[in-house]
Amino acid sequence: MSNSRLKDRIALVTGASRGIGRAVALAFAKEGAHVIALARRTGALEELDDDIQAIGGTATLLRLNLTDGGKIDGLGPTILERFGRLDVLVGNAAILGPLSPLNHISEKDWNDVLTVNLSANWRLIRTLDPLLRKSDAGRAIFVSSGAARHFKAYWGPYSVSKAALEALVKTYAAEVSDTDVRVNLVDPGVVATAMRAKAMPGENPATIAKPEDLAETFIRLASPDFTENGSVVHG
């Protein structure tokens, strides 16, 4: 392990099995954090664990679907019992949903996108805020998108969910402003992920940023000496 900027920090990362979440989990582990890796797929989590162990890091694997509100609500008590606190929360997991005219979007698709991209993050805040306050420097980082501020036809559910996420996170930041917790968002820009490939199937992924290119941004925001609050930081 080459660095230790997050030595002994306890960090939870959602959507940790691939893309940005996986890159962040590996980077945090390399910097000395114990990573609580949360994702839907057991196999991908186990592969991540192998890679974390290979660099001398440690992880706890949690298979959890963010549509299951009850299980999200149980995270706080579980982590409290195991670790006693949480130092870093990275709310990364999201789904794209259909790219379609608003009047063609089904109620199920609308609800699915809002549940994963918005409501799950509210549940994470609700259950994990007491643990972040137990840290000497709790840090919460949520992944936004340019779609939260630049609106394009056919991107309705995703854009709405990310715009609402920014409002949610900035409200939370205001509520913790007089504590040791700091809360921010990352707008990663154009990054070669599975979601990007689904949205832009004709794009050459070799011509855009890789998830690993964002690692340093997340390390900086997770560090105890990062004191900005309520900002959207561009990756």
Report yes or no: 80 and 131 within 8 Å, Cβ to Cβ: yes
**Tokens representing residue 195 in the block:** 């979601």
The residues facing 60 across adjacent strands are: 36
- DSSP 8-state class, residue 33: P
Strand 34-39 relative to strand 10-14, pairing: parallel
Residues with catalytic roles: 158
Which one, of 155, 160, 76, 81, lies nearest residue 116 by Cα?
A: 160
Which one, of 16, 58, 71, lies nearest residue 41 by Cα?
A: 16
Q: Please report where in the chains the tokens 């989590």 appear, as a residue.
A: 45
Q: What is the spatial distance between Cα 46 and Cα 212, in angstroms, rounded to a whole number?
A: 19
Q: Could you give the dihedral angle defined by the CA atoms of residues 127, 129, 135 and 136, in that order, rounded to the nearest 10 degrees?
A: 180
